[in-house]
Structure 1
Amino acid sequence: MKRSNLAHRVSRIAAAVCFSLAATASFADPVSLNIVDVAGNLALTKAGFEAFKAKYPNLVSNITYTNAPAPQLPGKLKAMQAAGRSDIDLVVTGTDALAAGIEQNIWTKVSTEDSKGFSDALGKYAPAPRKMQDLAQGYGLEVTYMPAGPLLEYNPAKVSAADVPKTPEQLLSWCKAHPNKLIYARPANSGPGRTFLMGLPYVLHDKDPQDPINGWDKTWAFLKQLNECVPYYPGGTSAVMKELGEGTRDMTVTVTGWDINPRALGIVPADFKVAAFENMTWINDAHYMVIPKGVPKEKLDVLHKLMSFMLEPAQQAMTFDDGYFYPGPAIKGVTIKDAPAHSQEVIQKYGRSEYETWIAKYPHALPLPADKMVAAFQKWDREVGAQKTK
């Protein structure tokens, strides 16, 4: 009987050891990651993500990529988290969904203050991108950077040099004289749209450019007047560039990357021009890597390593891409000479010498913080685009 009890106990201990070893092996197994892009950022970073998978097959078995509209994702994630699901592991986003997600409390904090987090990341950023990192409020890590705009892009065959607007007032006059020929996309889902929205208070000398509710009287009045000659507001920038390239519209608002990239891809003719407002202020832009709440611990460890990897010079040099988020790199010391040969050729052919002049000449400002950006989007949706957004 005693021998039987002893055998039973040994059997139980052996089973427990086997279970423990299986659990350890499972934890150490490579993970599959689902990355969702709501900013067109994968054009800049997918090669870097794939380089990580190739370098660390012991950590990552597979990466799936999905694109989604920025305005819809935060609500979807909120519902998934309420249901106890975590199908999305990493989101690459612009300031739009970043801000909405902070407001809805759906992102996981990432530490930049201790050795287990990203304490070395802050020192890697160039000065302007370093300021943009603060917008994440500890909920994400900036991966790409662009001094954005607001700029105007136009068809030189339809808009003479003498008619190119240099002020918002001149833009309004041109629009009224050429109804339905100016178009821009809904700011909540468009980099050029939101850059235009946030840049106007500076150009119009509004009371407080950082307060869209109480400090933008001139901006809202201007946008409502402009609304009278804008046919409708597409849901994203791609539709705007398609109409501009096809000749349906003659002018739009743009940013550096959305000027260069569609011309490089042949969506917009290469000879289209850009103009800056007199005394403009650059509204800088950035893309961020954020982790939704609910991602399991074994994936968090891999994601943290991946996010750090994306800030290394080799991956940052890839973000010059085809000029989509010009220039692209967020860290110090990465120049176009470090970029792949194809990227160098694209920037040489489709970049603009004016950009370096304007970037140095005009002051730079941060976009609105999360709560105020969301408030600005909601007010625009309600008071400007309500009847014309598609």
Structure 2
Amino acid sequence: MKRSRIGRRIGSIAAALGFSLMATASFADPVSINIVDVAGNLALTKAGFEAFKAKYPNLVGNITYTNAPAPQLPGKIKAMQAAGRSDIDLVLTGTDALSAGIEQNLWLKLLPDQAAHFPGVLDQYAPAPRKMQDLAQGYGLEVVYSPAGPLLEYNPDKVADKDVPKSPQQLLAWCKAHPNQFIYARPANSGPGRAWLMGLPYLLHDKNPQDPINGWANTWAFLKQLNECVPYYPGGTSAVMKELGEGTRSMTVTMTGWDINPRALGVVPGNFKVGRFDDMTWVNDAQFMVIPKGVPKDKLDVLYKLLEFMMQPAQQAMTYDDGYFYPGPAIKGVGVDQAPAHSQEVIKKYGRPEYDKWIADRPNVVPLSADAMVKAFHKWDTDVGAQKTQ
């Protein structure tokens, strides 16, 4: 009888231990990570994510990648969270969806809440990217950086160098004289469109460039005038570059990476040129890694390690890529000489030596705060692009 009782107890302990071991094994199983890119960021970071998967097969079994329009993502995530679902583990975003997500309380707070997973990360950033990281308000990590724009890109077969506008007023005059030849994309889903929208208050000497509602009287008046000679506003920058490359349009606003990369890819002819406004202020741009609320704990531990991995010099050097977000790296001390050989070739062939001088000569500023940016996008959509956005 005693032996039977002992046997049953041993069996119970073994069963409990077995359950515990199964639970531990399940927790330790590699996870699948679903990444959604609303910024074209995968061109810069996918190689880094794949390097992480190759280095840590015990942590990551599979990574799926999806692209989505930035304006639609916050609503989708909000609906998922309301339904108690977690289909998206990591979002790669520009300042657009970052701002919308902060406003709607969609993102997990990383800093300072999870600072132990990212030791010294804020000290790694170069000075200008460090200022951009503040835009995330701790809800994301800036993974790439660009001084951005706004710049003008033009077809030299249609626009003589001497006729390239040097001020917004000259651009308006050129646009009226050449209707339907100038376009730009909806700012809420376009890096160049955002740089243009946020750069205008500096060019037009508005009362408060950081207040789109009460401080941009000159900008909104100008954009409404410009609207008269703009045929329509594409939903993204790729469509703009396609029309520019095909010769349908002659001029658009751009930024460093959107100048270099489409020419490197052959979407835009290599001989197309850029100009800058005489009184320009660089409106910096950055892209961020953010984690939606509701991601399971077993995935969070892996994601924290992945984000920290992406901030290391080897992965940062990969972000030179094909010049898409030139220069790319957000941390200090990562030069183009550390980039993959192909990236070095692209920058040498399609980069512009004048960029270094322009960046050094002209002031640079951070974009609008999250709240102000959402308001600026809404006002542009309502007052400028309402009837012409496609």
TM-score, length of structure 2 as denominator length: 0.98
Size of the aligned set, in residue pairs, is 390
Provide the aligned C-alpha RMSD in A.
1.1
Aligned partner of 1:286 in structure 2 is 286
Deviations 1:288-330 (A, max 9, x none): 0000001111111111111111111111111000000000000
Q: How does 1:52-201 map to 2 (within 5 A)?
A: 52-112=52-112, 116-201=116-201
Aligned partner of 1:202 in structure 2 is 202
User: Helix, strand or coil: the match of 1:173?
Assistant: helix
Aligned partner of 1:354 in structure 2 is 354
TM-superposed deviation, 1:347: 0.5
CA contact (8 A) 2:165 2:277 kept: yes
TM-superposed deviation, 1:117: 3.0
Q: How does 1:1-390 map to 2 (within 5 A)?
A: 4-112=4-112, 116-390=116-390
User: Helix, strand or coil: the match of 1:64?
Assistant: strand
Task: Provide the rounded CA distance (Å) in 1 between the counterparts of 2:56 and 2:7.
Answer: 43
User: Helix, strand or coil: the match of 2:116?
Assistant: coil
Q: Which stretch of structure 1 is more off in the superposition, 155-164 or 369-378? A: 155-164
User: Helix, strand or coil: the match of 1:284?
Assistant: strand
TM-superposed deviation, 1:112: 4.2
TM-superposed deviation, 1:351: 0.5
User: Helix, strand or coil: the match of 1:349?
Assistant: helix
User: Helix, strand or coil: the match of 2:329?
Assistant: coil
User: Helix, strand or coil: the match of 1:314?
Assistant: helix
Q: Which stretch of structure 1 is more off in the superposition, 200-209 or 10-19? A: 10-19
TM-superposed deviation, 1:147: 0.3
Task: Provide the rounded CA distance (Å) in 1 between the counterparts of 2:103 and 2:8.
Answer: 56
CA contact (8 A) 1:147 1:285 kept: yes
CA contact (8 A) 1:179 1:230 kept: yes
Deviations 1:136-170 (A, max 9, x none): 00000010000000000001111112211000000
Query: Any gaps of 5 or more consecutive residues in structure 2?
Result: none
Query: Any gaps of 5 or more consecutive residues in structure 1?
Result: none
Q: Hey, which bits of structure 1, 4+ residues long, moved more than 3 A?
A: 1-10, 112-115
Deviations 1:190-226 (A, max 9, x none): 0000110000000100000000000000000000000
Task: Provide the rounded CA distance (Å) in 2 between the counterparts of 1:115 and 1:170.
Answer: 49
Deviations 1:263-305 (A, max 9, x none): 0000001111101111110000001000000111111111111
TM-superposed deviation, 1:8: 3.5
TM-superposed deviation, 1:4: 4.6
Return the letter of the residue paired with 1:49.
Answer: F
User: Helix, strand or coil: the match of 1:194?
Assistant: helix
Return the letter of the residue paired with 1:166.
Answer: K
User: Helix, strand or coil: the match of 1:72?
Assistant: helix
CA contact (8 A) 2:117 2:308 kept: no
TM-superposed deviation, 1:244: 0.2
CA contact (8 A) 1:112 1:120 kept: no
Return the letter of the residue paired with 1:111.
Answer: L
Task: Provide the rounded CA distance (Å) in 1 between the counterparts of 2:273 and 2:338.
Answer: 28
Q: Which stretch of structure 1 is more off in the superposition, 104-113 or 48-57? A: 104-113
Q: 1:364 to 1:69 in 2, by over 3 A?
A: same
User: Helix, strand or coil: the match of 1:116?
Assistant: helix
CA contact (8 A) 2:256 2:325 kept: yes
CA contact (8 A) 2:317 2:339 kept: yes
TM-superposed deviation, 1:30: 1.0
Task: Provide the rounded CA distance (Å) in 2 between the counterparts of 1:348 and 1:46.
Answer: 23
Task: Provide the rounded CA distance (Å) in 1 between the counterparts of 2:305 and 2:10.
Answer: 40
Task: Provide the rounded CA distance (Å) in 2 between the counterparts of 1:310 and 1:115.
Answer: 15
Deviations 1:330-363 (A, max 9, x none): 0100001111111111111101111001000000
User: Helix, strand or coil: the match of 1:286?
Assistant: strand
Task: Provide the rounded CA distance (Å) in 2 between the counterparts of 1:275 and 1:77.
Answer: 39
TM-superposed deviation, 1:6: 4.3
CA contact (8 A) 1:112 1:119 kept: no
Deviations 1:6-50 (A, max 9, x none): 443333222111111110111111111111110000000000000
Task: Provide the rounded CA distance (Å) in 1 between the counterparts of 2:3 and 2:339.
Answer: 72
Q: 1:88 to 1:169 in 2, by over 3 A?
A: same
CA contact (8 A) 2:84 2:294 kept: yes
TM-superposed deviation, 1:5: 4.5
User: Helix, strand or coil: the match of 2:257?
Assistant: helix
User: Helix, strand or coil: the match of 1:358?
Assistant: helix
Task: Provide the rounded CA distance (Å) in 1 between the counterparts of 2:21 and 2:111.
Answer: 31
Task: Provide the rounded CA distance (Å) in 1 between the counterparts of 2:231 and 2:298.
Answer: 50
